[in-house]
Amino acid sequence: MESFNDVISGGELVLVDFFATWCGPCKMMHPVLEQVKATLGDRIRIIKVDVDKHGDISAAYRIQSVPTLMLFRKGEVLYRQSGAMSKADLMALLSPFMK
């Protein structure tokens, strides 16, 4: 099984959704992320990290509110934002990072 660090350290673009099961805006992001994945396919990897189950990872990245989206490539944080967003906004945000 891949570790979190293995996933974010690869050469592919990885969008990490830090979420909580009790969080309303997090639930709103789920279908948006599915739509983005359907649109971008293999050009991006999207993973979800439950802050309640993975407190160590959440603490390491100083996650203070959910949802928080972070974009990684080769272990480097390319982007970070807290709060829900629309598919159009997320696609616009991801566009400059796509190969």
Q: Is 23 a catalytic residue?
A: yes
**Judging by DSSP bridges, how do beta strands 68-73 and 45-50 pair with one another?**
unpaired
Q: Is 1 a catalytic residue?
A: no
Q: What is the strand order of the sheet 68-73 is part of?
A: 45-50, 14-19, 68-73, 76-82
- pLDDT the model gives residue 99: 66
* pTM for this entry: 0.94
Mean pLDDT by 10 residues, the chain (99 residues): 91 97 96 97 96 96 97 96 96 91
In Å, what is the CA distance from 44 to each residue of 75, 84, 93?
A: 14, 19, 13
Instruction: Please tell me which residue in 7, 12, 23, 61 is annotated as part of the active site.
Output: 23
Instruction: Please tell me which residue in 26, 69, 84, 90 is annotated as part of the active site.
Output: 26
The domains of the chain are located at 11-87
Burial of 35 (0-12, 13-18, 19+ CB in 10 A): middle
The residue assigned the tokens 């959704």 is 17
Rg (CA), the chain: 13
- Domain 11-87 fold is Glutaredoxin (3.40.30)
